[in-house]
Amino acid sequence: MVETEEERQRAEIVRFGALLYDRRLAHGSAGNLSVRLADGTILVTPTNSSLGFLDPARLSKVSADGEHLGGDPPSKEAFFHLAVYAERESAAAIVHLHSTHSVAVSCLCHADSSNVLPPLTAYHVMKVGKLPLVPYFRPGDRKLADAVREAARGHHAMLLSNHGPIVAGRSLVDAVQIMEELEETAKLFFLIGDRPARPLTCEAIEELEAAFPS
């Protein structure tokens, strides 16, 4: 039988959940994934599920305004996924993780919260771009949706204070690749530590932005 687009997306969520878990970018029941379907409904991982052991038939389905349409109860953070989709027409998938190095960056004091990782490499600039820090609200707090929505207006990647990163992509593979790049840059940031670093120059960044517009 021919696989429907929804079945394909359900399988992709399970596949990438397992991949992130196997790469230790997700642990316990931390993190959530979602995909926006062509009819505007959203598939999202159920609350308290492990990304490593998802069941395609039990993924939650919600409407664009958050009504639970099917599957297990949705992630308590489905509301911030919806906020990003509402703000970014091009977003077709969202990944939220508690990946160690990115979370560590989210716990530091930052003089400039508009961009909390330096442009160390071309791929960070091309994939992630500027990474704003979103103020702290407890997981599940609806006020987080407003703060996320504001950041999503100008950014496809952001870091929740004392919590973790959110990335929106044009597909799930796109969002996962951006997330992996973000985590690797956070790792490099701590690896370099206090040594005098040489981030990319403004001219190099402008050249990349012109060559690879997002």
Decide if 135 contacts 152 (C-beta within 8 A): no
Per-residue CA distances from 17 to 55, 97, 125, 190 (Å): 10, 10, 25, 26
**Number of residues in contact with ligand 13P, rule: CB under 6 A?**
13
Q: Is 132 in the site for ligand 13P (CB under 6 A)?
A: no
Sign of CA dihedral 119, 122, 124, 128: positive
Q: Is 77 in the site for ligand 13P (CB under 6 A)?
A: yes
The one catalytic residue in 12, 77, 183, 184 is 77
Binds ligand 13P (CB under 6 A): choice among 6, 27, 47, 113: 47
Q: Does an H or E element contain 206, and which?
A: helix 202-211
Beta strand spans in the chain (E): 32-36, 42-44, 60-62, 68-70, 93-96, 133-134, 157-160, 164-169
Is 77 part of the annotated catalytic residue set?
Answer: yes
Decide if 109 contacts 43 (C-beta within 8 A): no
Decide if 199 contacts 205 (C-beta within 8 A): no
Q: Is 50 in the site for ligand 13P (CB under 6 A)?
A: no
Binds ligand 13P (CB under 6 A): choice among 6, 29, 122, 205: 29
Binds ligand 13P (CB under 6 A): choice among 17, 31, 132, 165: 31
Q: Does an H or E element contain 212, and which?
A: none
Q: Is 32 in the site for ligand 13P (CB under 6 A)?
A: yes
- Residue nearer to ligand 13P on the CB measure, 10 or 98: 98
> Where do we find the tokens 């929106």?
168
Question: Which segment (3-11, 28-36, 180-188, 199-207) binds ligand 13P by CB under 6 A?
Answer: 28-36
Question: Which segment (11-19, 23-31, 53-61, 104-112) binds ligand 13P by CB under 6 A?
Answer: 23-31
Is 123 part of the annotated catalytic residue set?
Answer: yes
DSSP class of residue 50 equals -
The one catalytic residue in 87, 123, 150, 207 is 123
Q: How far is the CB of 105 from ligand 13P (least distance, A)?
A: 16
Where do contacts with ligand 13P occur on this chain (CB under 6 A)? 29-32, 45, 47-48, 75-77, 96, 98, 139
Residue numbers annotated as active site = 77, 123
